[in-house]
Amino acid sequence: MVSVSMSSSSLQVKIDNLTFGGDFIGNVNFSADQSLLGIKAFVPYCLPGEEVKVEIVEKKSQFLKTRLLEVITPAADREQPLCSHFMLCGGCELQQMKYQAQLRAKQEMILNALRGLPYLKNVETLLQPLAASSPYRYRLRAVFHGNQDGQIGFFKPQTHDVVSIEECHILTEKLASLVPRLKEFGTMVCALAFSLNLAEDEQGVIAVIEGQEIKTKEDLTKIAEAADRLFVNYIVKQNGKELLVKGRNELSYSLQKNSELKLIVPAGGFSQVNWQVNQLLIEKVVEECLADRGKTVLDLYAGAGNFTLPLAQAGFFVTAVECDARLVNLGKKNISKNNLADKIKYFGQSVEVFLKQSNACKTSDIVILDPPRSGLQKTAEAINFGKKLILLSCYFPSFINDLKALQRYGWQVKQIAPFDMFPQTSLVEIMTVLTR
């Protein structure tokens, strides 16, 4: 892609739809350069149906990347963003839209992508409505970044430049209350801290501070003094090694409403950021498995047991596969704490190795696939067993690639259920049910 200098003359674009990544797409309908008329343009921070004035940031033969200059004809669903950092911070993409409009735009985005897939017919029938969330105050975990000037905040859009922030409306109340005090923390630690991972559970907040220039005991003491002012529980790490732990280092979450089933996950590791929607997702996965007459489930990329534990409690025998040793250990700890030892077997190895070596595949009625952001890659070819497959994905490009691959190897889509795990962004969590 070729960068072009900003033109003094602007273009006008009629906006059509939201695209993955947060930009909206439309056609250029006014330009002094006649060759640009009708070309597709990607524009951030607008709404379907709007007429907008833009300038070119990048140009390619088939489309333009642009910057929004002015909304000429605002849509009825446009609203004033809550956050003063919106458009400066890269965390949110859609605060200019009323929440119901966000849901409609995401649903249409998913439909447009699915319509282009081979072997997939009756998309409108297969796709369920997007399950809604609380639009704000949903996020239980966030990673803040620091720079050498002592600023702590989030990255600017499409960069690694830090924006110092004083408020964040998608964080829970407890995490948001800490945000104004991060400036003080950043000033004290300056270049010693590279990132700050904050996560909240029912017992409070745990901070994981990732250092980059901690060379002496004095450096570590300096970080600890700053952390003591803000946090009861914190971990200081550098290059993956824990240098200091104070208080708790694990988080605990209720996996289901009105249930004592708990999931323990490591502070600083992966966990779902929107627990309200995660519980809805778990409920849907269990419901879909119970609709089948099978008795055994193979949970691939199982983590610490987000789906494994509820499925075992529902009566299934679950074989869980996870390559991260710490998550496997916590998975086994979760099994013990929830009294499910007779229902679950954990394998601490990669999914690829497991599929080549284990006989458990042949006896599994249902397969759960919750791969990392990179998707299934070559694993799809090896999933040639079971009666039903449940694919979960939070990254749209890999979701589409995985769906294509599974269809090529004989799996047919029966249902696609999206969940709005990440309001104010274009990201969605998607559960797909397939059968052979």
What backbone torsions phi and psi does residue 398 show, to the nearest 5 degrees?
A: -70, -30
pLDDT above 60 for 350: yes
Q: How many helices (H) and strands (E) does the chain have?
A: 11, 22
pLDDT above 60 for 103: yes
**Residue (of 393, 425, 433, 429) closest to 105 by Cα position:** 425
In degrees to the nearest 10, what's the CA dihedral of 351, 356, 359, 362? 80
Q: Which CATH superfamily is domain 274-435 in?
A: Vaccinia Virus protein VP39 (3.40.50.150)
Question: For residue 171, what pLDDT band results from cuts at 50, 70 and 90?
Answer: very high
In degrees to the nearest 10, what's the CA dihedral of 325, 253, 251, 239? 50
pLDDT at 369: 96
**Residue (of 416, 404, 345, 352) closest to 383 by Cα position:** 352
pTM confidence score: 0.92
What topology does CATH give the domain 141-251?
OB fold (Dihydrolipoamide Acetyltransferase, E2P) (2.40.50)
> Where is pLDDT greater, at 237 or 194?
237
pLDDT in tens, 122-139: 899 999 999 999 999 999
Domain boundaries, the chain: 2-73, 141-251, 274-435
Percent over 90 (pLDDT), the chain: 79
Q: Order of strands across the sheet with 366-369?
A: 344-347, 317-321, 296-300, 366-369, 388-393, 429-435, 412-419
User: What would the mean pLDDT of 20-47 be, rounded to a whole number?
Assistant: 94
Q: String of b and e for 27-40 (b: at least 16 CB within 10 Å)?
A: ebeebeeeebeebe
Q: Which distant-in-sequence residues (6+ apart) come within 8 Å of 80 by Cβ?
A: none
Q: Do domains 2-73 and 274-435 have the same CATH topology?
A: no
pLDDT in tens, 376-388: 988 888 998 889 9
pLDDT above 70 for 107: yes
Mind spelling out the 3-state secondary structure of 53-64?
Answer: EEEEEEECCCEE
**For the structural domain made of 2-73, what CATH number should be given?**
2.40.50.140
Question: For residue 7, what pLDDT band results from cuts at 50, 70 and 90?
Answer: very low
What's the chain's Rg over C-alpha atoms? 23
